[in-house]
Chains A and B, each alone.
Chain A
C-alpha cells in the first residue's frame, strides 16, 4: 500500500477534529474523501502534509511508519498538495513558480539552471496532458490553468501521492471536465490520488473508492458502482436528505417588486445593467440565471440600496424604493448577500450581535441610546433554536462557524422579521448538501407564506430547482423569462450564452 493513515486523532480546543480516522490509497488509485464542511477533511490533509501533528495514530508510507515534523518532510516522502487557494506569485512565470523553493542549480555559485528546469516542465506537461506554457505569467492565466500549475509543482517535486483539496470549487463545469481527464492520466501513470470534495456527482464520476467522513469519523468506504447520490448524502449528513426541494405549485399573488427600465453603472462608470424590466409577484420565486459578471452583482446592489440607480425605477408595492439600505429594509425587504463574510456578517462579532446587525437600533434591542444586550441574547437564543444554527453559544465569534451555519445566521436575521420580498444572491454558494437543503426549504416556506422571492444565482441547478419562473440575465439585460415547466437545462443554457 502506497499510503495508509492509521487511527489518526486530532483534538482542538473543544473540537475532536479527527477521531481515529483510517484511510488508505494505493498507486494508480483515486480515493475520494467525501464530507461536509467541518467533517475533518482539511484537518486530516494538514496532518498528512506535515502542518499539524496528530495526537494519536500513524502515517504509513510504503509500509514504513513516518512522522512529519514539517511540510518539507512530507514533500520528501512524495506527498504533493494542491490547495483550494493557490500558493502562486502572480508576477512570476510558470517556470519560476514551479521551481520556486526547489530550484535546479549548477556550478559552484549555484546559478539557477532555468533551461533544464524549463525542459523538465515541458516534458511533465506533455506526459500528463497538462498543456501549460512554461513562459506564461501566472497573473495572465485563467483559474483552471493556475490549478494545473499547482499540479505541475507537485509533480516537479517527484510527488506520487497527490492530494487535491476541493479542486472543482473554483472551476467552471468545462474546466472540471478537463481536470478529470488529467487526474485519470496521472492515476494511469501510477500516482496515488486523494480527491477531497463535498460534491456527490463529482466523486461518483472520478473516484475508484469513496471514504465518507462525518464529524471527524470515518462513516464508511464504498465504491461508486455500488452506491447512489442519495445513499452517499445520507452517509455524509447522517440522515435522509432531500436532494430536490419538494414543493407545491406557486399561488401567485399581486405584484410586489417592479423593476422598470433599470440602468446601473459599475464602479468604473460603465453601464452594466441596461433597461432591465422584471416583476416579482407575492408567493412566487423568480430565479435569475446567468454567467458570473453579466451585471447581476450591480443589479442586486441597486435593488438593495447599495448602488445608485442611474435611470429607471424600482418599486415595492407600487412605491419607489428609497436610496439607502435601511429605508429599503424597512419596506419589508430581506437581503441575503452574495458573499457571506464580506457583506453579510461581521467577523469578530458574536452570533448574537450578527443576528441583530440590521435591527440593533430598534425595540426591543435598543431604547434610543442604550443597547440592550439581554434582549439581544434572548432573541438570538430563540433564533439559534428556530433555525438550527449549530454554534457552541450565542457568544461565539460568527467567523468560527461553518459556512452553512454562517448562512443560517443571515437567514435567521433576514427571515426573522415580517418580510414581503426576499432578494437572495447566491444563497448557497460554497455550502454542503445539508445546508443547501435547509436554506432551500426555508426559502420555499417563505414563498408558501406569500412572500415574493427573487433569487440571483450562477448555479444552474439551484435556479432550476427553485424558480417558479426562470429569468436569464445576459450582458446587463433580462434576455428571456421561462415558466418552470419550460425551463430546461438546454433552453436556459442557450440564453445564458446570449443566444435568443
Chain B
C-alpha cells in the first residue's frame, strides 16, 4: 500500500549514508553505496510478496536488537576511554569526532577480521598463490569455524526449548560428546572414513546420554531439568578433568590435563586444502543437522509431539501423547546435537581435548536458540553472527587495540534487546511480530 514512501525513505537513507562515507573515508565510499543499493533493492523485492513481508517482519526485532547493541557497545567504548574525559573539556567536538572515528575503526576492523578484505581476496585470487589465497580467505574461514559448534549446540537447545524442556546443560553435553569422540579418535583402530564416522557417532551418543539423564529424571521423578542440567554441567567438567589426568586420555608420562592427539583417520577433513584455512567438514555437518532438525520438528510425527508438548503439555496429554517419553526423547536429541558440537570441535578443530575446549558454547547456545526464535534457520543465522563476532575479535584487537571483551558485551546486549522486545518497540516506535513461539496474541477476531 505504500511502495513509494519505502523507496523514497530508503533512497534518502542511502544518500545520508553515502554522504557520511564520502566525508570520512573517501576511497571506500563506492562499496558503501553499492551495498546500500543492494539492501534497498532486497527490501523492496521482499516487501512485494506476502512471504517476504512476513520474513521482514520477523527480522525486524533481531536486526534492531543487533543495531542497538552495536550502538550501545560504541557508546561504552567511547566512555571507557579515559582520554575522552580529559580531552572532552578542551575540545568537545574534536574529541567526539575522534572517538566516533575510533568506534568506526573498531567495527570496521571487526568486519574485516570476520569476513576478510575484498581487495586482498581479489588480489590473492588473481595471483593464484595458494599461500596468499589462504591468508586472504582466513578471516571468513575462521568465522565459519567458530560458527560450526555454535550452530550444533544452538540447535540442541532450540529443540529442547520447542519441546518445553529448558535444557541449559548443552555445555556439559558438549564436553561429554567431545570426550567420547576423542576417546574413539585415540583408541579405536579403524581405517579412514569409518574411524571419523564412529567418532562422530560416539560424540552424539555421549551428548545424548548426558541429555537422557536429566530427561529420565524429569519424566520419572519430576526433578526440574534446570537444576539437573546445571549439576550435570559441573559433573561433566569433573569427569572430563579426571579422565584427562588419567591414562584413559592422557599421554604416557604426561603431567597436564591435555589428551593425546587423535589419529589422523579420525580427523574431520578440511573443506579447502589451502594454508591457514581451518574450516572443516563440521560446517557441512552442522548445516545438514539444521536441515535435519527442521525436518524432525516440522515434518515428522515425533516433531509434532515435541512441539505440542512444548506449547501445551496438558493438551498433549489429553490428546494421548506420552509426556514422559516426549521429554526424554527431546532431551536425547538435544543432548545429541550438543554432543555433536563437541565432537566436531575436537575432531575438526583442535584434534585433542583439554578443559578449555569450550569458551562457553553451551551458554551461547541458549542465547542463540532465543535469538533464532527456536527455528533451525534462525539458529544458523544467529550462530553466524556470533561466530563472526568471535572470529573477528582478534583482528579488531590487533588492528585497533580494542579489547575483544567488548564483543562479549555486545553479544550480551543483543540477547538483552531480543529478550526485551518492548524496549526495542519503545525506542524505535515499531510494531513487532513475535519471534518466540508462545507469545500471546490479540484476543479478538471476528466470529
User: Does a CB–CB distance below 8 Å link A and B in the complex?
Assistant: yes
A residues at B contact (CB < 8 Å): 12, 14-15, 17, 36-40, 42-43, 215-216, 304, 306, 324-326, 329, 335, 337, 342-349, 353, 357-358, 360-361, 365-366, 368-371, 373, 390, 392, 397, 399-402, 404-405, 432, 434
A429 to B444, CA, bound (A): 18
B residues at A contact (CB < 8 Å): 298-305, 307-308, 311-312, 314-322, 437-438, 441-447
A326 to B301, CA, bound (A): 15
- Report chain B residues within 8 Å CB of A304: 318
Q: Closest residue of chain A to B447, judged by CB? A: A38
Are A344's CB and B315's CB within 8 A?
yes
Are A347's CB and B311's CB within 8 A?
yes
Are B442's CB and A400's CB within 8 A?
yes
- Report chain B residues within 8 Å CB of A40: 444
Residue of B303, B443, B445 contacting most chain A CB atoms (<10 Å)? B445
A369-B311 in contact given A337-B318, A399-B441 (Cβ < 8 Å): no
Are A346's CB and B441's CB within 8 A?
no
Are A357's CB and B308's CB within 8 A?
yes
**6 A-B pairs with the lowest CB-CB distances in the bound complex, closest first:** A326-B320, A38-B447, A358-B319, A348-B311, A357-B319, A325-B320
Residue of A215, A337, A357 contacting most chain B CB atoms (<10 Å)? A357
Are A12's CB and B442's CB within 8 A?
yes
A17 to B305, CA, bound (A): 35
- B54 to nearest A CB, angstroms? 12
Q: Closest residue of chain B to A16, judged by CB? A: B446
**A36, A343, A371, A397: which contacts B300 (Cβ < 8 A)?**
A371
15 residue pairs of the A-B complex, CB under 8 angstroms, read A12-B444, A38-B445, A40-B444, A42-B443, A325-B319, A344-B318, A346-B312, A346-B315, A347-B438, A348-B312, A349-B308, A353-B304, A360-B301, A360-B305, A373-B298
- B51 to nearest A CB, angstroms? 13
Are A346's CB and B446's CB within 8 A?
no
A324 to B325, CA, bound (A): 13
Residue of A215, A397, A399 contacting most chain B CB atoms (<10 Å)? A399
Are B444's CB and A17's CB within 8 A?
yes
Residue of B301, B304, B317, B447 contacting most chain A CB atoms (<10 Å)? B447
Are A370's CB and B315's CB within 8 A?
no
- Report chain A residues within 8 Å CB of B445: 12, 14-15, 38, 392, 400-402
- Report chain B residues within 8 Å CB of A216: 446
- Report chain A residues within 8 Å CB of B316: 346, 357
- B300 to nearest A CB, angstroms? 5
A15-B444 in contact given A358-B319, A370-B300 (Cβ < 8 Å): yes
Q: Closest residue of chain A to B309, judged by CB? A: A346
Are B315's CB and A357's CB within 8 A?
yes
Residue of B304, B305, B322, B438 contacting most chain A CB atoms (<10 Å)? B304
Are B315's CB and A371's CB within 8 A?
no
A38-B299 in contact given A342-B314, A346-B311 (Cβ < 8 Å): no
Are B315's CB and A400's CB within 8 A?
no
Are B317's CB and A306's CB within 8 A?
yes
A243 to B311, CA, bound (A): 37
A348 to B312, CA, bound (A): 9
A137 to B69, CA, bound (A): 45
- Report chain B residues within 8 Å CB of A400: 441-442, 445
Are B301's CB and A370's CB within 8 A?
yes
A369-B444 in contact given A329-B320, A345-B315 (Cβ < 8 Å): no
A304 to B311, CA, bound (A): 22
- B324 to nearest A CB, angstroms? 11
A344 to B305, CA, bound (A): 15
- Beyond the given A357-B308, A360-B301, please list 20 additional residue pairs across the A-B interface where CB-CB is below 8 A: A38-B446, A43-B444, A306-B317, A324-B320, A325-B318, A329-B320, A335-B318, A337-B318, A347-B311, A348-B437, A358-B319, A360-B305, A365-B301, A369-B302, A371-B298, A371-B304, A400-B441, A400-B442, A402-B447, A404-B447
- Report chain A residues within 8 Å CB of B446: 15, 17, 38, 215-216, 390, 402
- Report chain B residues within 8 Å CB of A306: 317-318
Are A361's CB and B315's CB within 8 A?
no
**B299, B314, B319: which contacts A371 (Cβ < 8 A)?**
B299
A258 to B83, CA, bound (A): 86
- Report chain A residues within 8 Å CB of B314: 342-343
A402 to B441, CA, bound (A): 12
Are A371's CB and B308's CB within 8 A?
no
- Report chain A residues within 8 Å CB of B315: 342-346, 357
A116 to B407, CA, bound (A): 57
- Report chain B residues within 8 Å CB of A345: 312, 315
- Report chain B residues within 8 Å CB of A42: 443-444
**B300, B317, B447: which contacts A405 (Cβ < 8 A)?**
B447
- Report chain A residues within 8 Å CB of B322: 324
- Report chain A residues within 8 Å CB of B443: 42
A390-B319 in contact given A346-B312, A347-B311 (Cβ < 8 Å): no
